[in-house]
Amino acid sequence: VLDIAKRVAPDGIRFLLVGEGAEKAKLKERALAEGIENVTFWDQQPRDRVAQIYAASDLCLVLLRDLPLFNTVIPSKIFEFMGAGRPILTTVNGESRGIVERAGAGAFSPPGNAEALVEAVESMRREPDRLAVMGQKGREFVEQHYSRRALAARYLDILGRVARPEGRTEVTQ
């Protein structure tokens, strides 16, 4: 994020990093040492405050390192951001990318490529109407596919199929 913050046009773009993490102290030191003024660090916030932060955000970032493990995980923040109706820019490939793209809720940028991320942030910044549509699509997608009601219906369907004799398989050693 600091690499992106240094490169984007400074007028009007601010990055807010909320929460704790192993690298937080180092990141704060680096931002100070390099004079990166468009990044603010906040401590962990209560849940009700987090909702306000999401609502005030124009774009939410979901950035992870390029590791094979991350191709199969879905950070919970993706669902939180989509549920809040916020557009997403992500570097998380695999399942996460698929959800964001299927929903039309944001964009993907290759992990580890700061220049591509800067370009994506700048591009998305110029299209506030597109961001609003992405946010709305994300919210609708989460409500349709990942609400408690939708998940419960899928779970009941699976249980129903397993409970039927023809749905069972024999387990052998």
- The answer to whether 41 touches 70, Cβ cutoff 8 Å, is no
Q: Is 169's pLDDT higher than 70?
A: no
Domain boundaries, the chain: 45-139
pLDDT band, very low/low/confident/very high, at 33 (cuts 50, 70, 90): very high
3-state secondary structure at position 23: coil
The pLDDT of residue 71: 85
- The answer to whether residue 105 scores a pLDDT higher than 80 is yes
Q: Are 78 and 88 in contact (CB under 8 A)?
A: yes
Q: pLDDT, tens digit, for every residue of 128-158?
A: 999 999 999 999 999 999 888 877 888 888 8
N-to-C CA span, the chain? 50
- pLDDT of 81 higher than 90: yes
Q: pLDDT tens digits for 47-59?
A: 889 999 999 999 9
For range 69-95, the mean pLDDT: 93
Residues 24, 89: Cα–Cα separation, whole Å: 21
- pLDDT of 168 strictly over 70: no
Q: The pTM is what?
A: 0.83
Closest CA to 41 of 49, 51, 29, 52: 29
pLDDT at residue 36 is higher than 90: yes
Token duo for residue 36 = 């990166």
At the second CATH level, the architecture of 45-139 is 3-Layer(aba) Sandwich (3.40)
